[in-house]
Amino acid sequence: MAIAGGYALTGLAVVLLGQLLVRAGMPASEAVVSAGMSGMVIYLGLLLWALACVNVARLCGWMALGSAVLAGLVGVLR
């Protein structure tokens, strides 16, 4: 769950960050690279948090909630 959920959550976070950086005035090519590089740090943080989490059900719930929120924000910004 940590790998798949973290990957999905990171992917959504990278897409959202890229969109926000472009809206902030950064050129699209630089926004994509910056968001992609930030994704490595985001994924590492999520993976470490998932491995430290004791309750798997709570982990799944938080990852699902986070994915839903990020997906909604991505949809609004498109």
Does residue 3 surpass a pLDDT of 90? no
Q: Per-residue pLDDT averaged across 42-53, rounded? A: 92
Q: Residue 7: which pLDDT band, with cuts at 50, 70 and 90?
A: very high
- Determine contact, residues 41/10, Cβ cutoff 8 Å: no
Q: Per-residue pLDDT averaged across 54-67, rounded? A: 93
pLDDT digits (tens, 9 = 90+) for 19-36: 999 999 999 999 999 999
Question: Which residue intervals of 1-78 are DSSP H helices?
Answer: 2-23, 28-52, 56-77
Say what the pTM is.
Answer: 0.90
Does residue 1 surpass a pLDDT of 90? no
